[in-house]
Amino acid sequence: MKNYKIGLLRGDGIGPEIVDSAVKVLKAVGEKYQIDFTFTPYLIGGAAIDACGEPLPKETVEGCLASDSVLLGAVGGPKWDTLPGNFRPEKALLGIRAAMGLFTNLRPAKLYPALKGACPLREDIVKDGFDIMIVRELTGGIYFGERGYRQGKYGEEAFDTEAYSRMEIERIARVAFETARKRRKKLTSIDKANVLETSRLWRKIVHEIAAEYPDVEVSDMLVDNAAMQLVRNPSQFDVIVTSNMFGDILSDEASQITGSIGMLASASLSDNKRGLYEPIHGSAPDIAGQNKANPIATILSAAMMLLYAFDEAAAAEAIVNAVDKVLEVGYRTADLTRENALSTTEITDKIIEAL
Ligand code: NAD
C-alpha cells in the first residue's frame, strides 16, 4: 500500500476544525483507493506564538520540508492583531512559502451549478457558469522586495519595492502554459505594462515562452481591465497568470463571484511538486469553535493534493464528485443557506457517505 506523509498545519480559528474534516475525508478515500496516510501536526500562526513565542518555529519548517505534502487550515485572529509585523501569525505564511520554495499558487474559481443562487452577479452574466484557474506568482514581487521607512521631503515616508527576475517570470509562465494545456488551452497574462517596468519584462518573457506552446492561445490584459472583466464576463477566462500582488487581489475577487469563500481550495507548488494545500479563506474568528465552518474548501484542497502532489487522480476526482453530489442534493453549511444548515462535522459525514 502506498504511504504519504502529510504535515498538518491546523493553525488558528476554524483551522483545526476544517483540517480535521479534511483528514477524515482523506482517510475515507484512502481506504477506498488503498492509500495510507501518516499525518503529523505542526504548530503555526497564533497557536505557535502562544506555545513557543514565534509564528513559524524551526520544527515546523523542518517537519514540512520532511513531509511529502502539507495541509494548512488558516492562521491569525484578533488575539494577535496588535503584535508587530514580524511576530504576527500571517508572517508564518510568507515564511513557510519561502522555506518550501512555493513559487506557484493555483487557485481555481468555479461556479458550482448548485450554488448559482449564491453568486452576486446577474443571472444573464453567469448563465453559462465559469471555471477559472488563477496561477499566481507567490515568492517574488512587491511582497518580498525591499521595504522600509525613511524621512522624505514631506517627513515620514514608507516604501515597498517590486522586482521580478527573468527566472521568476519564466518558471511561473511555464507552469501557467502547462496548466492551460491541461484545460481549455486559453491563457490570459495580466499585468500593468502601461506603467510598470516589472510588467513590461513580464509581458516580454510570457510572449517568448508562448513560442514553446503553440497550442495555447495567449493574450495580455491590464490588471484594471481584468478586475472589470471578471465581473462583466467571467466565462471568457480559462487560465490566468499574474504577479504576486495582482494575483492576491484578483483571486479574492474571483472567489467572491463564486458565491462562497468557504468553497475555494488552493495549491502552492514548488519545482519538485511538493506542495502546500490550503483553503483560500482566513481563520474566520467570528465562527471559530462553533462547528459552523464550511470545510469544503479544505476538503477540496486535500483533493488537489491527491492530484498534484501524489498523482492520485481517481481518488481526487472521487472527492470532487462527492462534494458535487452533496451540494446537488441540497446540503449546505451556514455560509450558504439560512435554513437547515448542517454543521462542519455533519457535512463532512455527508461527503464521506457520498464517497
Ligand atoms: P476570513 O476569510 O477569515 O473571514 C471572512 C468572512 O468569511 C467571515 O465572516 C467568516 O466567518 C467567513 N468565512 C471564512 N471562511 C469560512 C468558512 N470556511 N466557512 C464559513 N464561513 C467562512 O477573513 P478575515 O475575517 O478578513 O480574517 C480573519 C483572520 O484570518 C485574520 O487574522 C486574517 O489575517 C487571517 N487570514 C488568514 C489567511 C490564511 O491563513 N491563509 C488568509 C486570510 C486571512
Residue 26 CA to residue 319 CA, distance in Å, equals 9
Residue 345 CA to residue 20 CA, distance in Å, equals 9
Atom 8 in ligand 1: residue holding the nearest Cα: 284
Give the pairing of strands 35-41 and 2-11: parallel
Residue 94 pLDDT: 86
Q: Where are the alpha helices (DSSP H) in the chain?
A: 15-33, 46-52, 58-66, 91-99, 166-181, 197-210, 223-232, 244-256, 296-308, 313-329, 344-354
H or E stretch covering 107: strand 104-110
| 78 alpha-carbon distance from chain centroid | 22
Q: Check if the beta carbon of residue 13 is closer than 8 Å to that of residue 283.
A: yes
Residue 80 pLDDT: 95
Residue 163 CA to residue 104 CA, distance in Å, equals 17
Assess whether the C-beta atom of 285 lies below 6 angstroms from ligand 1. Answer: yes
Residue 163 pLDDT: 98
Assess whether the C-beta atom of 63 lies below 6 angstroms from ligand 1. Answer: no
Residue 273 pLDDT: 67
- What is the distance in A from the centroid of ligand 1 to the CA of 15? 10
Question: For the chain, first and last CA: distance in Å?
Answer: 20
Assess whether the C-beta atom of 281 lies below 6 angstroms from ligand 1. Answer: yes
Count of alpha carbons within 13 angstroms of residue 227, beta-carbon side: 11
Task: Pick the range with the lowest mean pLDDT from 13-17, 139-143, 181-185, 257-261.
Answer: 257-261
Atom 43 in ligand 1: residue holding the nearest Cα: 282
Q: Which amino acid is at 348?
A: T
In sequence order, the β-bridge partners of residue 72 are 9
Q: Which residue from 117, 24, 124, 19 is spatially nearest to 332, judged by alpha carbons?
A: 117
Could you write out the DSSP letters of every residue in 79-97? GGTTS-GGGSTTHHHHHHH
- What is the distance in A from the centroid of ligand 1 to the CA of 132? 22
Structure pTM? 0.88
Q: Catalytic positions, please?
A: 143, 192, 224, 248, 252
pLDDT band for 292, please (50, 70, 90 cuts). Answer: very high
Q: Which atom of ligand 1 approaches the CA of 18 most closely?
A: 18
Question: And the C-alpha cell for 34?
Answer: 488503498
Residue 114 pLDDT: 81
Q: Which atom of ligand 1 approaches the CA of 15 most closely?
A: 40
Q: Which atom of ligand 1 approaches the CA of 334 most closely?
A: 20
Mutational pocket test of ligand 1: of 72, 91, 105, 261, the residue with most ligand atoms within 8 Å of the beta carbon: 261
Atom 12 in ligand 1: residue holding the nearest Cα: 284
Assess whether the C-beta atom of 347 lies below 6 angstroms from ligand 1. Answer: no
Q: Which atom of ligand 1 approaches the CA of 73 most closely?
A: 40
Assess whether the C-beta atom of 231 lies below 6 angstroms from ligand 1. Answer: no
Residue 182 pLDDT: 84
Above 80 in pLDDT, residue 260?
no
Give the pairing of strands 239-242 and 186-191: parallel
Q: Could you read off the pLDDT of 189-213 as tens digits, one per residue?
A: 999 999 999 999 999 999 999 999 9
Assess whether the C-beta atom of 294 lies below 6 angstroms from ligand 1. Answer: yes
**Cα angle, residue 64 at apex, residues 63 and 67 outer, rounded to 5°:** 90
**Cα angle, residue 75 at apex, residues 69 and 78 outer, rounded to 5°:** 175
Q: Could you read off the pLDDT of 116-166 as tens digits, one per residue?
A: 888 899 999 988 889 999 999 998 999 999 999 999 999 999 999 999 999
Q: Which amino acid is at 296?
A: I
Q: Could you read off the pLDDT of 336-352 as tens digits, one per residue?
A: 888 899 999 999 999 99
Q: Check if the beta carbon of residue 306 is closer than 8 Å to that of residue 316.
A: yes
Task: Pick the range with the lowest mean pLDDT from 225-229, 268-272, 325-329.
Answer: 268-272
Q: What is the DSSP letter of 338?
A: S
Assess whether the C-beta atom of 259 lies below 6 angstroms from ligand 1. Answer: no
Mean pLDDT over residues 68-95, rounded? 92
Assess whether the C-beta atom of 298 lies below 6 angstroms from ligand 1. Answer: no
Q: Which residue from 289, 266, 270, 264 is spatially nearest to 278, judged by alpha carbons?
A: 266
Domains identified in the chain and CATH numbers: 1-103+264-355 (3.40.718.10), 120-257 (3.40.718.10)
pLDDT band for 259, please (50, 70, 90 cuts). Answer: confident
Phi-psi category of 148—alpha, beta or left, where left has phi over 0 and alpha has psi -120 to 50? Answer: left
- What is the distance in A from the centroid of ligand 1 to the CA of 261? 9
- What is the distance in A from the centroid of ligand 1 to the CA of 284? 4
Return the exposure string of 107-135: e unless at least 16 CB atoms fall within 10 Å of the residue's CB, then b: bbbbbbebbeebbebeeeebeeebbbbbb
Could you write out the DSSP letters of every residue in 40-72? EE---THHHHHHHSSSS-HHHHHHHHHSSEEEE
Q: Could you read off the pLDDT of 28-43 as tens digits, one per residue?
A: 999 999 999 999 999 9
Q: Which residue from 111, 106, 103 is spatially nearest to 230, judged by alpha carbons?
A: 111
Atom 7 in ligand 1: residue holding the nearest Cα: 284
- What is the distance in A from the centroid of ligand 1 to the CA of 165? 32
Atom 27 in ligand 1: residue holding the nearest Cα: 282
Q: Which atom of ligand 1 approaches the CA of 74 most closely?
A: 40
Residues contacting residue 331 through CB under 8 Å, at least 6 positions apart: 342, 347, 350
Mean pLDDT over residues 50-61, rounded? 96
